[in-house]
Amino acid sequence: MTSTLEPSGAAPAPDGQAGTSGAAGSPGSGGPNGGPPGPGSTRPTGSVRPTGSDGSTNSTGAPHATGFTGSPGPAGAAVPDTATGSGPAVLAGVDIGGTTTQVVLCSTGLDVLDRVELPTPAAEGGRAMIGTVLDGLRLLLGRHPARLAGVGVGAAGVVDAGTGRILVASDSFTDWAGFAVTATLEASLGVPAFLDNDVNAFLRGEVAKGAVAGERHVLGMTLGTGVGGALWMDGALHDGPHGAAGEIGHIPGFGDIPCTCGGRGHLETLAAGRSLAARYAERTGRSTDARGVAQAAQDGDPEALAVFTAAGAGIARALLITAGLVDVTTVVIGGGVSRAWSLLEPAVQAALAAEPPVSGQPIRLVPSLLGSDAVAVGAASRARSALTAATAGLG
Ligand SMILES: [Zn+2]
């Protein structure tokens, strides 16, 4: 479920991801999103710089508020009108990526009320990063006075959802591995906070409110700088004992090229954004990014088309392996590279047609509907589920 963090790998895209939330222009990145908005984006993007309000005064032992009313926690950054605010109950969802941090405010029905995107101060450490989250929340709650019921966070890397801590982070993050994300937020906000890996959150979002809403057996795959995967089985996220279930980008059998994870022949070596660029460079000697390869393919460059064909065939193989093992009905695909889906899909569908799943049932492939909101909405969905379970209803 790990994903990579760099903001490259976007392909020129039709931005066919406008969702019911009004999201447009899913950015491209290694994870489910991140990076510059695509053309046509109408989102209100981050005009607000973090102001240095760092609420992380207490990263250990913060009281874990239960229930929707919450209670004011220890003083941190002054975020107005949260647990004690008036107005309708709302949920916040946060997507902390290597480049940008997206904060959305959702109704309890998970409709996005507003969003803000801020630069992630990844080099400044965990406290600064949480400070950015709090800045975003302050801005949104200023626009939409409401009672914040809880916060969900999706973060790249390996996370411990149980303790709310980051376990492993990319080198581009300073002082992030080990950081107590949920305890710090709870101390500042006085409401329950929850942490998920970003690819898991992406899938939660698409199941809750997106392209696979209500489905019960889904593989989520993110094609960005890296390739991430997550499994939704029998109507619930299946994480596995090590949090590694669904890690489709890093299983062997896709050639022999060294992978970023240290393995060889993983799907990520074919289908990630930087892999598309690397495979194209090997064929042509020309250096470009995934966007450039996609543009070349659209212009008819046979080498670029071959790169996308190989990636599509690899993706199909991964889907067939997954379907054979756990019998998913549907695959939802996100990430920046997925915006070049028109280049990938022919090869994927051809391979699936040539070698159908052993079940005899076709695998349904759908692109992300929530686009760059998916991780944040999924994180809010996780918060909603936990709070609903705790209180048996939204206040
Ligand atoms: Zn790998």
Could you tell me the distance, in angstroms and rounded to a whole number, from the CA of residue 273 to the centre of ligand 1?
14
pTM: 0.79
Could you tell me the distance, in angstroms and rounded to a whole number, from the CA of residue 270 to the centre of ligand 1?
11
Containing domain of residue 273, as a range?
Answer: 213-369
pLDDT at 197 over 60: yes
Task: For residue range 289-306, list pLDDT tens digits in order.
Answer: 999 999 999 999 999 999
Domain count, the chain: 1
The reply to whether 378 falls in a domain is no
Could you tell me the distance, in angstroms and rounded to a whole number, from the CA of residue 186 to the centre of ligand 1?
35
Could you tell me the distance, in angstroms and rounded to a whole number, from the CA of residue 248 to the centre of ligand 1?
9
Domain at 329, CATH number: 3.30.420.40
Give the pLDDT of residue 83: 53
The reply to whether 326 falls in a domain is yes
Of 235, 207, 214, 234, residue with least CA distance to 334:
207
Task: For residue range 142-179, list pLDDT tens digits in order.
Answer: 999 999 999 999 998 889 999 999 998 888 899 999 99
The reply to whether 265 falls in a domain is yes
The reply to whether 92 falls in a domain is no
Could you tell me the distance, in angstroms and rounded to a whole number, from the CA of residue 311 to the centre of ligand 1?
15
Could you tell me the distance, in angstroms and rounded to a whole number, from the CA of residue 385 to the centre of ligand 1?
32
Buried b (16+ CB within 10 A) or exposed e, 39-71: eebebebbebebeebbbbebbeebeebeebebe
Task: For residue range 28-67, list pLDDT tens digits in order.
Answer: 334 454 333 333 333 333 333 333 333 333 333 333 333 3
Task: For residue range 69-78, list pLDDT tens digits in order.
Answer: 333 333 333 4
The pair phi, psi for residue 222, each rounded to 5°, is: -115, 125
Give the pLDDT of residue 93: 98
Give 25's pLDDT tier (boundaries 50, 70, 90). Answer: very low
Could you tell me the distance, in angstroms and rounded to a whole number, from the CA of residue 175 to the centre of ligand 1?
24
Could you tell me the distance, in angstroms and rounded to a whole number, from the CA of residue 131 to the centre of ligand 1?
32
The reply to whether 245 falls in a domain is yes
Cα separation of 142 and 304, whole Å?
A: 48
Give the pLDDT of residue 267: 97
